[in-house]
Amino acid sequence: MASANVAIFTDQNWETEVEGSDIPVLVDFWAVWCGPCRAVAPIIDQLADEYANRVKVGKLNVDENQGAPGKYKITSIPTLLMFKDGKVVQQKVGARSKQELASALDTLLA
């Protein structure tokens, strides 16, 4: 079951939710048909719960939204982008461990 703390990002809310966020944001670019994306999903849910109110954690379906993936040149998924002050500060391509992602988020918050 998906965490209630995972935001759903779209091309329509991207500017407000991601670029305009006053806290760091982790965006998981994914698609329903992507196996590695499904593997990362439970980790994203856990991070959303553990970093609630400190980092906004959310997902953007690349099949339903082409604007943001195009803008950030997302060519393979899963791609995880970390934003701070509306700018990309880290990018991870492919399924990553929870430890690696948590460490990146801790760096983001430092």
* CB-CB contact of 103 with 81 (8 Å): no
DSSP secondary structure letter of residue 22: S
E runs forming strands in 10-63? 25-30, 56-61
DSSP secondary structure letter of residue 19: I
Residues marked active site are found at: 34, 37
To which residue do tokens 């500060």 refer?
A: 89
Q: What are phi and psi of 22, to 5 degrees?
A: -90, 0
